Structure 1
Amino acid sequence: MHDDDDSPRPASIRRRPLLVLAALLTVSAAAGALVWGVARGPDTGAPADGRGPDSTAVPPSRTPSPAVSPDGSKPLAGRTVLVDPGHNPGNFRHTAEINRQVDAGTHRKECDTTGTATEAGYTEAAFTLDVAHRLRDLLTAQGAKVVFTHDADRPFGPCVDERARIGNEARADAAISVHADGSGRGNRGYHVILPAKVAEGSADTSAIAAPSRALGERVAAGFRAATGTEPSNYVGGGTGLDVRADLGGLNLSTVPKVFVECGNMRDPQDAALLTDPAWRQKAARGMADGIRTYLLR
């Protein structure tokens, strides 16, 4: 689930205000069970097993990618890629801060959200950070300079406007925001969100809309080839692509940028993939392949 998504989705579970969510979580904790199903997306950090909202521990360990490309080449030398792990493990403990309104280009909205989680409690924040690390390894192996928006090294956030600004200031050749969706059961598959052409308020995507589409198309193709999963059956009309004008992380970007919703954490079949380290490596590989083909086009 993207951190600045406040629009409805077909058959999806809508996110409730974060303060209401915090109250739900408090009641749930008192009962000894975490309640995730009623909101479109609470989530925070996970302990070592990747479960639960009350720990700032990093996701489960992963097998490191090689330090260099298999053939020893560095095709992405001199290129900069912004990798944005959606949400922050600490957001759950900072509801006041992440409820603060910030500029989203065409409107104002909350700084960030907590994200979503599987029914078993594996959080989106844990998922996105793990995939982001894998993606960084793969891109670095090909010579790219990788800039993170955060690495669970801050209490909460960054806010959606700062996430965009980090990529802009890095003058990234490509930017990718890693997420997982929080839709209803039966809604499955990945989709890549592209910025619409907007010129309103502080948003002007006229220069990045076309290159972002080119980036998104290649990332979607790479993701499908690497993971073997199908495009979303509930967003994008089967194309795996979704164009949006309401996301601050895209509206405020001055570099080519896309969001990737890797699957639906609320569907048991997708959740089984998202919680599998081997599949997460494939997901990272697909994104890296898409970014590489875009940068070398």
Structure 2
Amino acid sequence: MTGTTSDPKYPERPRRARRLGIAVLVCTVPALCAGGWFGWQALADGSRPAASSAATPAGTAAAPEPSSPEPAPASSGPAAGGPAPSGSAPTGSGPLNGRTVLLDPGHNPGNTKHTTEINKQVDIGNARKECDTTGTATNAGYSEASYTLDVVHRAREILRQRGANVVLTQDGDRPFGPCIDERARIGNQAKADAAVSVHADGAPSGAHGFHVIMPGKVTAGAADTSAIVDPSHRLGLELRDAFKRATGQPYADYIGKDGLDTRTDLGGLNLSRVPKVFIECGNMRNAADAQHMTDPQWRQKAAEGIAEAVTAFLAQGS
């Protein structure tokens, strides 16, 4: 998010641009890009610095450009940002037969061309926040939106082979969004057994590691996480442990504790009625983390970690 939680994430920790015009300006000035982490601290769910327009680093397999965090702008409906999401039928038979998994690739590269739409405020229950943000990028220009969609595609194939019906909030098939509230609604309407929102952070270059964000208890307006806090916590623990085993990535050294963080300011979690967590797979502004995330083989490991976590969680009968 600034990272990653599809919602404008930090404070929410705001990381995305409130006005993309500002975000784009910041990231076109190398000396200022490193300050993105502080900028998002003032934004909301999914607020991060705008992704750089630089070309994908040499040797990096370009991933399909994804869509954004939660639902489409103010209207919050599929028609506002693109086609309604559809599930991917299982390709195999296994432990996930009959289960539905929601995968939420954070951000949308098209958001930079739709600043008016993504800057509109949506209701997340206990506050109002930007529909979405642009996400972050490595210093070489590999965008968070490309990263998240690539990892989600890889995880989807693993889960489908295990018998799961997999629903995506967006598949690079819409011009922007969806907005954060719509992202939650897609999982609710699918009656997902588990939901994971995939992100990458944009913290200061010296910070590194991954962390999992779980929902805190929120009962305000349209938000009521009472029923999902406990199962989401179990899903979060499974995801933290499986991701670390699969990738070797250390826990974040700049946020959370032992790779876990609990938030009540993310629309994608506040409005969810199904067990859901976010994962910030690493800090794209950190050289070591960026090297991992631009490596297709590492992204495959990241996908395997996510799939293993979902499989283990659903094996508990949740």
Give 2:64's aligned amino acid. V
SS class of match (1:175): strand
Once the two structures are TM-superposed, the CA of residue 277 in structure 1 deviates from its matched residue by 0.5
In structure 1, distance between residues paired with 2:10 and 2:91: 40
1:42 aligns with 2:42: no
SS at match of 1:90: helix
Tell whether 2:166 aligns with 1:164.
no
Q: Deviations over 1:250-284 (max 9, x none)?
A: 00000000000000001111111111110000000
Given the alignment, which residue of 255, 272, 278 partners 1:259? Answer: 278
What amino acid is aligned across from residue 11 of structure 2 in structure 1? S
Per-residue Cα deviation, 1:47-94 (whole angstroms, up to 9, x for no partner): 9x646xxxx98259xxxxxx967xxx5110100000000001210100
In 2 relative to 1, CA 282–245 (structure 1 residues): closer, same or farther, beyond 3 Å? same
Taking the TM superposition and a 5 Å limit, the aligned residue runs for 1:177-196 are 177-196=197-216
Q: Are residue 173 (structure 1) and residue 173 (structure 2) matched? A: no
Q: Is the 8 A contact 2:95 2:162 kept in 1?
A: yes
The one-letter amino acid paired with 2:101 is V
State whether residues 222 and 287 of structure 1, in contact with CA within 8 Å, keep that contact through their aligned partners in structure 2: yes
The answer to whether the 8 A contact 1:45-1:58 is kept is: no
For residue 5 of structure 1, what is the aligned residue in structure 2? 9
Q: Distance in 1 between matches of 2:16 and 2:198?
A: 19
TM-fit CA distance, 1:22: 4.9
1:104 offset after TM fit, Å? 1.2
Matches within 5 A, 1:37-76: 37-40=34-37, 41-43=48-50, 50=56, 58=64, 73-76=93-96
> Take 2:53 and 2:157, find their aligned partners in 1: how far apart are those partners?
22
Q: Partners of 2:31 and 2:169 in 1: how far apart?
A: 28
Secondary structure of the structure 1 residue equivalent to 2:249? coil
Taking the aligned partners of 2:150 and 2:190, their CA distance within structure 1 comes to: 22
1:121 corresponds in structure 2 to: 141
Q: Which runs of 5+ in 1 are unaligned?
A: 61-66
Distance of aligned partners of 1:158 and 1:16 in 2 relative to their CA distance in 1, 3 Å threshold: closer
- Conserved in 2, the CA contact under 8 Å of 1:45 and 1:90? no
What TM-score do you get using the length of structure 2 for normalisation? 0.80
Distance in 1, matches of 2:193 and 2:287, equals: 36
1:249 is aligned to 2:249: no
| Cα distance in 2 for residues equivalent to 1:144 and 1:46 | 35
Change in CA separation of 1:163 and 1:15 when aligned onto 2, cut-off 3 Å: closer
**1:271 pairs with 2:279:** no
Q: Which amino acid aligns with 2:306?
A: M
- Unaligned 5+ segments in structure 2 are 38-47, 67-89
Number of equivalent positions? 275
Q: CA deviation at 1:17?
A: 2.5
Identical aligned pairs, as a percentage?
A: 56
Shift in alpha-carbon separation, 1:144–1:91, aligned structure 2, 3 A? same
Match of 1:215 among 225, 235, 259: 235
**Compared CA separation, residues 14 and 83, structure 1 to 2 (3 A):** closer
Q: Give the Cα–Cα distance (whole angstroms) in 2 for the partners of residues 260 and 273 of structure 1.
A: 16
Equivalent residue of 2:198, what SS? strand
Q: 1:142-172 deviations in whole A, cap 9, x for unaligned? A: 0000000001101100000000000000000
Superposed displacement of residue 127, structure 1: 0.2
What do the CA deviations read for 1:99-136 (whole angstroms, capped 9, x no partner)? Answer: 00001121111000000000001000000000010010
Paired letter, 1:271: A
User: Is residue 224–residue 230 contact of structure 1 (8 Å, CA) maintained in 2?
Assistant: yes
The match for 2:246 among 226, 233, 252 is 226
Contact 1:50-1:59 within 8 A present in 2 as well = no
- In the alignment, the residues of structure 1 paired with residue 51 and residue 176 of structure 2 have an alpha-carbon distance, to the nearest angstrom, of 10
Given that 1:16 and 1:39 are in contact with CA atoms closer than 8 Å, whether structure 2 keeps it comes out as no
Amino acid of the residue matched to residue 155 of structure 1? Answer: P
CA distance in 1, matches of 2:186, 2:53: 25
- Deviation per residue, 1:4-49 (Å, 9 max, x gap): 224176xxx95453244256169x4xx9x897434343345979x6
Matches of 2:102 and 2:219, distance apart in 1: 23
In the TM superposition, what is the alpha-carbon distance from 1:208 to its structure 2 partner? 0.2
